[in-house]
């Protein structure tokens, strides 16, 4: 709680929104962040707290009420039938416990969670008709994304056809492995080009290319984790991942279905340790209510699903962004 008056809070909210909008534009639209994630997250949390304390200052155009992300005007646009949302985040196990308590209160009993690694990349939607890949798109502003179908055709682990003639949409993360990222930056450096700030920006900048041949030269990968409106026999998130894996999608096999928060905490500790040794970047752990019918029941806010949360790793472990080495598209 702050001691600010309403007028003072109004001024502070305005300045935080302006600042966050500028940072978000650099990060989402230009793939070139100008501050570290921890700095962004701190201001974002400050804005959230002020809006909670002064609800009269909440407005629909606030960054807390919309999915951050712009669409590059020269890309064809894809409307997402099911919105691609953002995700709530917490920064401590205490807050994660509170999330679990909220869930239990809302559904009236204990629930099982699927814990997954939070891959540091950008969301990608893949649509198949009769078993053939027909569309790939970015999250964009959540309702409308960019058409990156031509680019996705050059990502080796994305199946162009499925073993069954299914008409489905799946979603996941497009990322660049650490080794490929280092190699790309070494090459760029040798050519006198600006290097990428981090693997997330390298992935975003490499996928969101009007010339798909540029994407072809970059070593992008995917982890697919969401089956949008899966068939009835799939009732849980863990099961959905296994089923998508069988269809030929590249899925991350480290995820676990847990019945207790103690097990979840152990999983967090394990990957906080292992994080640096993985061949791809992760910035936290995602906890999802495993039961898909409960997910539907819990629903979404305007910005995030109520049934999942990201536990973000401590800020001191995050990469430092150096302004003058940023690569712009």
- The residues assigned a catalytic role are 118
Determine, following the binding rule CB under 6 A, whether residue 327 of this chain makes contact with ligand NAD: no
Cα 3 to Cα 6, 53, 126, 194, 317: the distances in Å are 10, 10, 48, 45, 32
Interface residue with ligand NAD, options 148, 264, 310, 326 (CB under 6 A):
310
Interface residue with ligand NAD, options 13, 17, 30, 37 (CB under 6 A):
37
- The region of 114-122, 129-137, 162-170, 209-217 touching ligand NAD under the rule CB under 6 A is 114-122
Interface residue with ligand NAD, options 4, 87, 111, 214 (CB under 6 A):
87
Q: Are strands 308-312 and 89-90 parallel, antiparallel or unpaired?
A: parallel
DSSP state letters, 76-95:
PEEE-SS------EESSHHH
Determine, following the binding rule CB under 6 A, whether residue 184 of this chain makes contact with ligand NAD: no
Q: Which of 20, 41, 16, 29 is nearest to 284 (CA)?
A: 41
8 A C-beta contact, residue 139 and residue 172: no
Determine, following the binding rule CB under 6 A, whether residue 290 of this chain makes contact with ligand NAD: no
Instruction: List helix spans (H) across 54-146.
Output: 93-107
Interface residue with ligand NAD, options 50, 119, 184, 247 (CB under 6 A):
119
Residues 118/63/36/52 CA torsion (nearest 10 deg): -90
Q: Tell me 196's DSSP state.
A: P
Ramachandran category for residue 38: left, alpha or beta (phi over 0 → left; psi -120 to 50 → alpha): alpha
Structure tokens at 254: 């480290």
Tell me whether residue 4 or residue 34 sits nearer to ligand NAD (CB atom): 34
Interface residue with ligand NAD, options 118, 208, 218, 238 (CB under 6 A):
118
Total length of the chain: 329
- The region of 103-111, 112-120, 205-213, 229-237 touching ligand NAD under the rule CB under 6 A is 112-120
Dist CA 126 CA 39 (whole Å) = 32
- The region of 8-16, 84-92, 177-185, 203-211 touching ligand NAD under the rule CB under 6 A is 84-92
Determine, following the binding rule CB under 6 A, whether residue 286 of this chain makes contact with ligand NAD: yes
Interface residue with ligand NAD, options 75, 91, 113, 225 (CB under 6 A):
225
Interface residue with ligand NAD, options 31, 127, 146, 173 (CB under 6 A):
173
Determine, following the binding rule CB under 6 A, whether residue 35 of this chain makes contact with ligand NAD: yes
Tell me whether residue 40 or residue 271 sits nearer to ligand NAD (CB atom): 40
Helix (H) or strand (E) holding 311: strand 308-312
Interface residue list for ligand NAD (CB under 6 A): 23-24, 27, 33, 35-37, 40-41, 68, 86-87, 89, 116, 118-119, 123, 139, 173, 225, 286, 310
């Amino acid at each position: 709680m702050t001691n600010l008056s309403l007028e003072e809070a109004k001024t502070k909210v305005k300045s935080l929104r302006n600042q966050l909008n500028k940072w978000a534009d650099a990060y989402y639209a230009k793939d070139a962040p100008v501050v570290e994630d921890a700095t962004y997250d701190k201001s974002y949390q400050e804005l959230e707290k002020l809006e909670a304390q002064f609800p009269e200052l909440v407005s629909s155009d606030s960054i807390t009420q919309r999915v951050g992300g712009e669409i590059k005007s020269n890309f064809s646009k894809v409307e997402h039938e099911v919105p691609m949302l953002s995700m709530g985040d917490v920064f401590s196990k205490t807050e994660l416990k509170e999330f679990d308590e909220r869930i239990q209160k809302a559904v009236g009993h204990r629930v099982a969670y699927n814990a997954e690694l939070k891959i540091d990349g950008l969301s990608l939607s893949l649509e198949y008709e009769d078993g053939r890949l027909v569309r790939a798109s970015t999250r964009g502003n959540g309702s409308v994304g960019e058409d990156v179908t031509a680019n996705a055709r050059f990502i080796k682990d994305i199946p162009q056809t499925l073993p069954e003639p299914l008409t489905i949409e799946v979603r996941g993360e497009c990322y660049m492995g650490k080794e490929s990222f280092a190699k790309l930056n070494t090459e760029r450096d040798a050519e006198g080009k600006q290097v990428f700030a981090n693997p997330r920006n390298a992935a975003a900048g490499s996928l969101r290319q009007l010339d798909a041949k540029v994407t072809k030269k970059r070593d992008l990968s995917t982890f697919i984790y969401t089956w949008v409106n899966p068939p009835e026999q799939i009732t849980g998130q863990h099961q959905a991942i296994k089923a998508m894996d069988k269809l030929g999608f590249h899925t991350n096999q480290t995820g676990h279905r847990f019945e207790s928060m103690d097990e979840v905490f152990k999983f967090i500790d394990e990957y906080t340790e292992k994080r640096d040794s993985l061949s791809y970047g992760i910035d936290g752990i995602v906890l999802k209510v495993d039961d898909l019918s409960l997910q539907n029941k819990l629903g979404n806010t305007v910005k995030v699903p109520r049934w999942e949360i990201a536990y973000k790793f401590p800020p001191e472990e995050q990469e430092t962004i150096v302004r003058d080495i940023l690569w712009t598209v």
